[in-house]
């Protein structure tokens, strides 16, 4: 759908509308900028979750 942006985890490119296989996409995001930063946000959340789990041990 146009007007939605997706981050392609294989190419590391932002796509407008769903152009690739869903298994390779993160999103949708309302803006190109949010989609462009999707992988950084996901990595930061994963790191925070790991730290939280480690603190619970």
Q: What is the pLDDT along the chain (57 residues), one digit of tens a residue?
A: 568 999 999 999 999 999 999 999 999 999 999 999 999 999 999 999 999 999 998
The number of folded domains in the chain is: 1
55 Cα distance to chain centroid: 26
4 Cα distance to chain centroid: 13
Predicted TM-score (pTM) of the model is 0.80
Domain of residue 39 covers 5-56
Q: Residues 44, 46, 49, 53: what is their CA dihedral angle, to the nearest 10 degrees? A: -130
Which residues are paired to 8 by β-bridges?
25
Q: What is the DSSP letter of 30?
A: S
Q: β-strand 25-29 against 5-8: which pairing, if any?
A: antiparallel
Which residues are paired to 25 by β-bridges?
8
């Amino acid at each position: 759908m146009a007007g939605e942006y997706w981050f392609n985890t294989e190419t590391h490119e932002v796509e407008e509308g769903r152009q690739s296989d869903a298994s390779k996409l993160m999103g949708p995001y309302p803006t190109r900028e949010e989609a462009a930063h999707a992988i950084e946000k996901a990595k930061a959340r994963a790191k925070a979750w790991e730290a939280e789990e480690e603190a619970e041990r």
